[in-house]
Chains A and B, each alone.
Chain A
Amino acid sequence: MMTIIVAVAVILVIIAGSQLLKIAELRAQSKGELIYEVSEKEAKFQGILMLVFFISFMAFFAWQMCSWYGLRLPVSASVHGVDTDWLTGLTYIIITPTFILTNGILFFFCYKYSYSSTRKATFFSHSNKLEAAWTTAPALVLTVLILYGLSSWNAIMTPIPDETDHITIELTGQQFTWTARYAGEDKKLGRSHVTLIEGVNATGVDADDENAKDDKIVKGEFHLPIGMPVQFVFRSLDVLHSAYFPHFRSQMNCVPGITTQFNFIPTITTEEMRKITNNEKFNYVLLCNKICGAAHYNMQMDIVVESQEDYDKWLAEQKTFVE
């Protein structure tokens, strides 16, 4: 019944619309005007709307900043993340005024130069000087951004040298769960392969490998000591996943068949971050950020950053692979 009423209403609206258009056209015709010709008045009106739109657009932008900018990720909890945020900030300092100014000029010109029957447009077809100017200006700005960007990129992507004190953790993604494996006392991860997956050995760790014997496997949540470089090694057992640590400004894809790497140094403990964010329930999370199937939206693992002592205590409680 509802469908029929809606259908009838739609048809009536269409008929009414058609009639209105016809009437408007006939009226214009009777006045000797062409309905598709834009009058000076109409052009002026649209020009004003353009300006109104720009002002509202900026107001909307400001309103969003006030209401939603506060929801952004808290201060970075990793060393490199501070640099990332700084460079992001620098980029915003460049692009925000560009965005506002060029949009402003665009809509202002639309307002200022809307059609008038008495004015002549200026025949101005090119100027090498102007074009050189706005080729050079972005080129200079980009040089700065590229140089800064590449230097941070290289710093972030350089693996931790063996001689530096660090811990190594393997993260394995599979639909729709994460497994962490700590390298243990020997600081070496044992070999692993999908063909070795059997029963409780859900990620296929090679039990014959000496390095694997002291590895520790944890699920649900994993812990990191503050201030210690962490070398992550990523694997996937089935489809692509992406290990995204938003609070640490870190992300790397997990690719079946190969391992990938990323490292960072956590700088703020979970407890401290709870105070910073004023949220007692705050937890660092690892989440999947590459579409991986139906429950992609809920593939997560908690991360606890704590003092070295607490971390050592926690790790000692975890069982080794052979246990």
Chain B
Amino acid sequence: MSTHHHHAKDFLFTYIFSTDHKMISKQFLVTGFLMGFLGLIMSTLFRLQLGWPGESFEMIEMLMGSWQEGGVMSPDKYLALVTMHGTIMVFFLLTAGLSGTFSNLLIPLQIGARDMASGFLNMLSYWFFFISCMLMLASLFVEGGAASAGWTIYPPLSALPEAIPGSGAGMTLWLVSMSIFIVSSLLGSLNYIVTIFNLRTKGMSMTRLPLTIWAFLLTAILGVLSFPVLLAAALLLVFDRSFGTSFYLSDIYIGGQVLDHTGGSPILFEHLFWFLGHPEVYIVLLPALGITSEIISTMSRKPIFGYRAMIGSMMAIAFLSFIVWGHHMFLTGMNPFLGSVFTFTTLLIAIPSAVKVFNYLTTLWKGNIVFTPATMFSVGLVSTFISGGVTGLILGNSALDINVHDTYFVVGHFHIVMGLSAIFGMFAGVYHWFPKLFGRMMNNKLGNIHFWITIVCAYGVFFPMHFLGFAGVPRRYYTNSEFPMFNEMIDINVFISICAIIALVGQLVFFFNFVYSAFRGPRAPQNPWKGNTLEWTAPVEHFHGNWYGEIPAVYRWPYDYSKVNAAGEYVYGEDYIPQTTPLGDDEKDGGEH
């Protein structure tokens, strides 16, 4: 097996057009985080407007320059920022950034493969993603500004530049960028699926896969089945916008004249959009849940509780996620019977979700929990998954949804259950696998500080939003000052905005820790967390091929932590048994004694 001489390859093919999954993983991570940081800054800017409507801010003027002379945000720019924030966070950070980083890093390393099935497609996947990022960012600078119709880009608003300036060139770039993004996502997902099914090392049966891999596999399947539908939706919208078709448009009077479009329906777009849009929630969430399962088990030095139930619940969630999209559309005038069906399927998701939560809790029970920053963020994920999940019972129930639909209650719900859970999972993953990514360790103290600032501020930002929802405050309002009944809520908005600003500052601690540790952190040992999975049997230094000599074979499931024999002693003297350790004569696999 060729190994060392890969180092001799020139810079371009090692760092830029690399086909090594580990380098591609780092590319996704850094690009995703940079995009995410921009998305975070955008949210802080519009939080300034919401907390102190109409006031002038130097920060706004400095960052937005000539777009916002005088530092007072205009309604147009507010909507553009809201739209871009949503798009960037959901797709660029939490889809590409999260899956791209950890599927790429962990799939070959944890299943025992030298690389992805196709390194070349993998490289293409990253570069399509990169182009997509550039186009999306470029859309901020075109005439009329960035897309402003919300991240869901419902037509006709997104189809008609007469309706909002951002639906001009900005929306065109959005659609092109997203189409390229989908290509990237499909190339990645196909690669992940093929790799998991075909390149597992000797002994690595499906029931010995770490839960991370199961999560990545199901995520990739969701992506392959649902992203093409968004591509179709986007292309039809391009046709409507540029070639005069009427897929989504009918009977429109705007700007003093009747448009020629007839016969289309914006509801069609909503169906197509949410057919991706809802699985997308789980495309974002499942990898985070997989990462957390792995970390909670490793760091509490216990097997994950209910390994098979965890896989089953993820499968159930993945399956159900395809038949619940209508709960985003209860109030579009759809047949009430259809609404009933979607209520039923939606609330069913609570069952596998509850199973997952209880299994996490039981895993922690009687554990010996080592609090690394990765552990902390994993615990944070379980907390946000609970806190945001329970309000889903209100929103998923069509009768109750009527009164909270599109209010801040929704904003609070999905930011906690999806946004926070996913980003907590991503942070946990970065802290945990940093030694694998960069061969160095991150600083724990800074990591802990980062965690505490983040969770306190995150709840500070999103929990009060439920109370805005109780008062009926709609989302995506530039200011609430036009309604006396909402203007009373200004205290809540000020509170939220202050928490958002502190949260932003808190992330700087992370970025500092990240950059510093990547270059100057202490050198990582091969297996710093005493983990069982295969990636910890690979050498610290990176080279194409992952293992010198033979790929290790696997003899047991990945969760033999603190396994004791009849005498109450650790079976092999340590509280962990790597997957490469053959089963003893009197040992059973899969958590059986």
CB distance from B382 to the nearest CB of A (A): 6
The reply to whether A256 and B331 form a contact with Cβ atoms under 8 Å apart is no
The reply to whether A115 and B371 form a contact with Cβ atoms under 8 Å apart is yes
Q: Which residues of B contact A313 (CB under 8 A)?
A: none
The reply to whether A120 and B562 form a contact with Cβ atoms under 8 Å apart is yes
The reply to whether A249 and B402 form a contact with Cβ atoms under 8 Å apart is yes
The reply to whether B149 and A291 form a contact with Cβ atoms under 8 Å apart is yes
Listed stretches B128-136, B212-220, B233-241, B348-356; interface member: B348-356
Q: Tell me whether A71 is interfacial, beta carbon within 8 Å.
A: yes
Residue from A18, A102, A291 in contact with B157 in the complex, judged by beta carbons closer than 8 Å: A291
The reply to whether A87 and B253 form a contact with Cβ atoms under 8 Å apart is no
CB distance from B455 to the nearest CB of A (A): 7
Q: Tell me whether A314 is interfacial, beta carbon within 8 Å.
A: no
The reply to whether A21 and B443 form a contact with Cβ atoms under 8 Å apart is yes
Q: Tell me whether B64 is interfacial, beta carbon within 8 Å.
A: no
Q: Which residues of B contact A238 (CB under 8 A)?
A: 156, 160, 163, 252-254
The reply to whether B483 and A240 form a contact with Cβ atoms under 8 Å apart is no
With contact pairs A35-B443, A135-B351, A244-B474 given, residues A110 and B393 touching in the complex (Cβ less than 8 Å): no
Q: Which residues of B contact A24 (CB under 8 A)?
A: 443, 445
With contact pairs A21-B443, A91-B394, A238-B156 given, residues A126 and B307 touching in the complex (Cβ less than 8 Å): yes
The reply to whether A91 and B331 form a contact with Cβ atoms under 8 Å apart is no
* Size bracket of the B interface: 35 or more
Q: Which residues of A contact B593 (CB under 8 A)?
A: 123
Listed stretches B35-43, B276-284, B485-493; interface member: B485-493
The reply to whether A17 and B512 form a contact with Cβ atoms under 8 Å apart is yes
Residue from B75, B463, B482, B483 in contact with A60 in the complex, judged by beta carbons closer than 8 Å: B463
Count of CB-CB pairs between chains A and B under 8 Å:
374
Q: Tell me whether A79 is interfacial, beta carbon within 8 Å.
A: no
Listed stretches B22-30, B88-96, B117-125, B360-368; interface member: B360-368
With contact pairs A102-B386, A110-B369, A125-B591 given, residues A146 and B347 touching in the complex (Cβ less than 8 Å): yes
Residue from A110, A157, A297 in contact with B482 in the complex, judged by beta carbons closer than 8 Å: A297
Q: Which residues of B contact A131 (CB under 8 A)?
A: 306, 309, 355, 359
Listed stretches B259-267, B285-293, B534-542; interface member: B259-267
The reply to whether B156 and A240 form a contact with Cβ atoms under 8 Å apart is yes
Residue from B75, B476, B492, B575 in contact with A295 in the complex, judged by beta carbons closer than 8 Å: B75
The reply to whether A43 and B370 form a contact with Cβ atoms under 8 Å apart is yes
The reply to whether B150 and A88 form a contact with Cβ atoms under 8 Å apart is no
Inter-chain CA distance A72–B492, complex, in Å, is 12
Which residues of A from 31 to 58 have beta carbons under 8 Å from B?
34-36, 38, 42-43, 46-47, 49-50, 53, 57
**A254-270 vs B, Cβ < 8 Å mask (1 yes, 0 no):** 01111111000000000
CB distance from B261 to the nearest CB of A (A): 9
Residue from A64, A110, A145, A293 in contact with B379 in the complex, judged by beta carbons closer than 8 Å: A110
The reply to whether A121 and B476 form a contact with Cβ atoms under 8 Å apart is no
The reply to whether A25 and B397 form a contact with Cβ atoms under 8 Å apart is no
Q: Tell me whether B548 is interfacial, beta carbon within 8 Å.
A: no
The reply to whether B265 and A175 form a contact with Cβ atoms under 8 Å apart is no
Q: Tell me whether B258 is interfacial, beta carbon within 8 Å.
A: yes
Inter-chain CA distance A67–B494, complex, in Å, is 14
A-B contact pairs, 22 of them (CB 8 A): A22-B520, A35-B522, A36-B441, A36-B528, A46-B371, A60-B459, A99-B390, A105-B361, A115-B368, A124-B366, A127-B305, A145-B347, A146-B343, A149-B399, A153-B343, A174-B253, A195-B258, A237-B253, A242-B406, A256-B252, A293-B163, A296-B477
Chain B residues close to A by CB (< 8 Å): 62, 74-76, 79, 149-150, 154-157, 160, 163-164, 249-254, 258, 262-267, 300-309, 331-333, 336, 339-340, 343-344, 347-348, 350-351, 354-355, 357-362, 364-372, 376, 379, 382-383, 386-387, 390-391, 393-394, 397-400, 402-403, 405-407, 441-446, 448, 452, 455-456, 459-460, 463-464, 467, 470-472, 474, 476-480, 482-485, 488-489, 491-492, 512, 516, 520, 522, 528, 559, 561-564, 568, 570, 575, 590-593
